[in-house]
C-alpha cells in the first residue's frame, strides 16, 4: 500500500525543511543549539501540519540520537515507562541521551506527565513534546520549567508554493504524471497554512482529475474539495471560520448567534477547553474594564468544565457565552497595553526616574535613588500627584477610558486626581 504524499515528502534534513525560519534558519537559536550538541528538552507549540513531528525527527537524525515516539492519544503510563526503560538501555551504548517524542502531549493527564519527570531530570531522555494547545495550560509546571518552548507558525503562501512545486517535480509517483498547475490560490486557501492538508488536497485533486494532462486551477480545486468537505473539521478551515463567527457574535453582543455557533462547535466535537480559553480571551480583550466580572465568570467557567466535563459542560459554556455576549464592551485595556508595547519598542530602555528607583544600599541613596519619592499613604485620600513615567514620556497617555458606565466612573476619578492629564 502506497504511503500518503505528505509522508513520502517528509524531509530528513534541515535544508529540506520548509517554514519556521525563525527557529531553524542557520543562525536561529534552535538550530545553533542542535549543532552545538547541547540539545535541551523541547516543547513545540503550533497548529496542525506545520512540521512539529518532522522537526523532531530531523533533530534526532542531525544530532545522531536514538529516536522513540509515543502518541498521547493512545499511550498510558505503562507505555511511557516501557519506552524510558528502552531508552535507558540504549543509553548504555550511546553518549547522547535518546530523543523521546510525544505527539499531542497536551492529551497526557498529570500522572502521565509526572511519569516523564525523573527521566527528563536525570537526562535519561531528551523530551520533545508537540502540542496544538497552549503549553502553559496543558503541560505541568515542573515539565515546562525543564523545557524550552518554541512556537511554530502556520506556513505562509510562499512556503506552500515551494511544497506544491516539490511534490509535483520530485515525488516519484507524481513526477511520472502529466500535471499542469495553472493556479494554486485555492489549494493554498483550503490548506489553512497546514502542509499536511495541502499535500492531501493536492493528491486528492490529482487523483480526481481524469484528463491528461491533469490541469489544476482554482475552479477545479474548489469543485473537488467542496464535494469532499465535511460539516465541521476540528483541524481545518471550518474550525477557524466557526470560532471566528463565535468570537464576533459575542463581541457584537448577540447572545442568540453566539449560542448557535457554540452549539456548532460542541456538535462537531470541539475541545471544550479550547472554547473556554476563547471565552477567557474575549472577557479580557473585548469586555475588559466595562465589566471586570466577565473575566471572573469566564475563569470560573474554565475551572468548572475541567471538573464536570461533557455533556453537562455545555450548560456552563452556554451560561458564560450568554453572559459575555450581554456584557457592555470595552477594548481600552487591550488598546492601552498594545500602545505601551509599541512605545517601548520605539523608545527602548528609558531610564527609571530617580524617585522611583529602589535604594537598598547607602551608595544608591547617596546617588539619589528614591529621593523625593512621595509615599501615597501619607497624603489625604492616599493620593499625591507625582510623575511616574520616564522624562521622555511625560504627559503621554496610554489608557483612554471607553464610554461605558464602569469606565466613566474611572474617568471622573482620574480627572479629579490628575486634573488635565486624563481629559
DSSP string, 373-397: ---GGGSGGG------S-GGGTT--
Instruction: Judge contact between 17 and 51, C-beta under 8 A.
Output: yes
Which H helix or E strand runs over 181? Answer: strand 179-181
CATH number of 20-151: 3.40.50.300
pLDDT band at 362 (very low <50, low <70, confident <90, very high): confident
What pLDDT is attached to residue 230? 44
Residue with the three cell numbers 470541539:
270
CATH 1.10.3710 in the chain: give the residue spans. 345-422
Instruction: Give CA–CA dist 291/396, Å, rounded.
Output: 26
Side-chain half-sphere exposure of 297, counting CA atoms within 13 A: 22
Chain segment 164-221, per-residue pLDDT in tens: 999 999 888 888 889 889 999 989 888 878 888 899 899 889 988 888 888 998 998 8
* C-alpha gyration radius of the chain: 27
Question: Mean pLDDT across the stretch 370-390?
Answer: 88
pLDDT band at 257 (very low <50, low <70, confident <90, very high): very high
Residue 59 buriedness (CB in 10 A; 0-12 / 13-18 / 19+) = buried
pLDDT band at 282 (very low <50, low <70, confident <90, very high): very high
For the domain made up of 157-228, give the CATH fold. Helicase, Ruva Protein; domain 3 (1.10.8)
Task: Return the higher-pLDDT residue of 316 and 397.
Answer: 316
CATH 1.10.8.60 in the chain: give the residue spans. 157-228
Chain segment 126-138, per-residue pLDDT in tens: 999 999 888 887 8
pLDDT band at 109 (very low <50, low <70, confident <90, very high): confident
Instruction: Give CA–CA dist 119/44, Å, rounded.
Output: 19
pLDDT band at 29 (very low <50, low <70, confident <90, very high): confident
Question: Mean pLDDT across the stretch 93-101?
Answer: 79
Mean pLDDT of the chain: 86
Instruction: Give CA–CA dist 320/273, Å, rounded.
Output: 13
- Rounded to 10°, the helix 293-308/313-326 angle is 170
CA distances from 403 to 278, 288, 400 (A): 25, 12, 10
Q: Looking at 27-36, 111-120, 228-237, 360-369, which range is the least confident one?
A: 228-237
Pick the CATH number of 237-326 from 1.10.4080.10, 2.30.30.140, 1.10.150.20, 1.20.272.10: 1.20.272.10
CATH 3.40.50.300 in the chain: give the residue spans. 20-151
Chain segment 299-340, per-residue pLDDT in tens: 999 999 988 888 899 999 999 999 999 999 999 999 999 899
Pick the CATH number of 345-422 from 1.10.3470, 1.10.3710, 3.40.50, 3.90.550: 1.10.3710
Instruction: Give CA–CA dist 286/97, Å, rounded.
Output: 47
CATH 1.20.272.10 in the chain: give the residue spans. 237-326
What pLDDT is attached to residue 192? 79
What pLDDT is attached to residue 28? 85
Which H helix or E strand runs over 112? Answer: helix 110-121
* End-to-end C-alpha distance for the chain, whole angstroms: 72
The candidate with the shortest Cα–Cα distance to 266, out of 235, 234, 227, is 234
The candidate with the shortest Cα–Cα distance to 61, out of 8, 99, 89, 111, is 99
Residue with the three cell numbers 466577565:
294
Beta-carbon contacts of 272 under 8 Å, excluding residues fewer than 6 positions away, are 266, 305, 309, 310, 313, 317
For the whole model, what pTM was predicted?
0.56
String of DSSP letters for 8-72: HT--SSGGG--S-HHHHSTTSHHHHHHHHT---EEEEE--TTSSHHHHHHHHHHHTT--EEEEET
The candidate with the shortest Cα–Cα distance to 406, out of 322, 298, 332, 297, is 332
Instruction: Judge contact between 105 and 98, C-beta under 8 A.
Output: no
The torsion angles phi and psi of 45, rounded to 5 degrees, stand at -115, 120
pLDDT over 70 (residue 234)? no
Instruction: Judge contact between 24 and 17, C-beta under 8 A.
Output: yes
Residue 320 cell numbers, joined: 458564560
% of the chain at pLDDT higher than 70 = 95
Beta-carbon contacts of 208 under 8 Å, excluding residues fewer than 6 positions away, are 224
Instruction: Give CA–CA dist 298/320, Å, rounded.
Output: 6
What pLDDT is attached to residue 246? 93
Instruction: Give CA–CA dist 125/67, Å, rounded.
Output: 10
Amino acid at each position: 500500500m502506497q504511503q500518503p504524499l505528505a509522508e513520502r515528502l517528509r524531509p530528513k534534513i534541515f535544508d529540506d525543511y520548509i517554514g519556521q525560519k525563525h527557529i531553524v534558519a542557520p543562525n536561529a537559536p534552535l538550530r545553533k543549539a542542535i549543532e552545538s550538541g547541547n540539545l535541551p528538552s523541547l516543547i513545540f507549540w503550533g497548529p496542525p501540519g506545520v512540521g512539529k513531528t518532522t522537526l523532531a525527527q530531523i533533530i534526532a537524525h542531525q544530532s545522531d540520537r536514538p529516536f522513540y515516539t509515543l502518541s498521547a492519544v493512545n499511550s498510558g503510563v505503562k507505555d511511557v515507562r516501557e519506552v524510558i526503560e528502552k531508552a535507558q538501555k540504549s543509553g548504555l551504548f550511546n553518549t547522547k541521551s535518546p530523543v523521546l517524542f510525544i505527539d499531542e502531549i497536551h492529551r497526557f493527564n498529570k500522572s502521565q506527565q509526572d511519569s516523564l519527570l525523573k527521566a527528563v531530570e536525570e537526562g535519561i531522555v531528551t523530551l520533545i513534546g508537540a502540542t496544538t494547545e497552549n503549553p502553559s495550560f496543558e503541560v505541568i509546571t515542573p515539565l515546562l520549567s525543564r523545557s524550552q518552548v518554541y512556537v511554530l507558525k502556520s506556513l505562509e503562501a510562499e512556503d506552500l508554493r515551494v511544497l506544491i512545486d516539490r511534490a509535483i517535480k520530485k515525488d516519484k509517483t507524481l513526477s511520472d504524471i502529466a500535471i499542469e498547475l495553472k493556479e494554486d490560490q485555492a489549494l493554498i486557501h483550503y490548506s489553512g497554512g497546514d502542509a499536511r492538508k495541502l499535500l492531501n488536497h493536492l493528491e486528492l485533486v490529482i487523483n480526481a482529475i481524469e484528463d491528461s494532462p491533469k490541469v489544476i486551477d482554482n475552479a477545479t480545486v474548489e469543485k473537488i474539495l467542496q464535494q469532499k468537505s465535511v460539516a465541521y473539521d476540528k483541524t481545518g478551515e471550518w474550525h477557524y471560520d466557526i470560532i471566528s463567527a463565535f468570537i464576533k457574535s459575542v463581541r457584537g453582543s448577540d447572545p442568540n448567534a453566539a449560542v448557535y455557533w457554540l452549539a456548532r462547535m460542541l456538535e462537531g466535537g470541539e475541545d471544550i477547553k479550547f472554547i473556554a480559553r476563547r471565552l477567557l480571551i474575549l472577557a479580557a480583550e473585548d469586555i475588559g474594564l466595562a465589566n471586570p466580572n466577565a473575566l471572573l465568570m469566564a475563569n470560573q467557567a474554565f475551572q468548572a468544565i475541567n471538573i464536570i466535563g461533557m455533556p453537562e459542560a455545555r450548560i456552563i459554556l452556554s451560561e458564560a457565552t450568554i453572559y459575555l455576549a450581554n456584557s457592555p464592551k470595552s477594548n481600552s485595556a487591550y488598546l492601552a497595553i498594545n500602545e505601551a508595547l509599541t512605545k517601548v519598542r520605539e523608545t527602548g530602555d528609558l531610564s527609571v526616574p530617580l524617585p522611583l528607583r529602589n535604594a537598598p544600599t547607602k551608595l544608591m541613596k547617596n546617588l539619589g535613588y528614591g529621593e523625593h519619592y512621595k509615599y501615597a499613604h501619607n497624603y489625604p485620600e492616599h493620593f499625591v500627584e507625582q510623575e511616574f513615567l520616564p522624562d521622555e514620556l511625560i504627559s503621554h497617555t496610554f489608557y483612554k477610558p471607553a464610554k461605558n458606565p464602569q469606565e466613566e466612573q474611572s474617568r471622573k476619578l482620574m480627572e479629579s486626581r490628575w486634573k488635565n492629564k486624563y481629559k
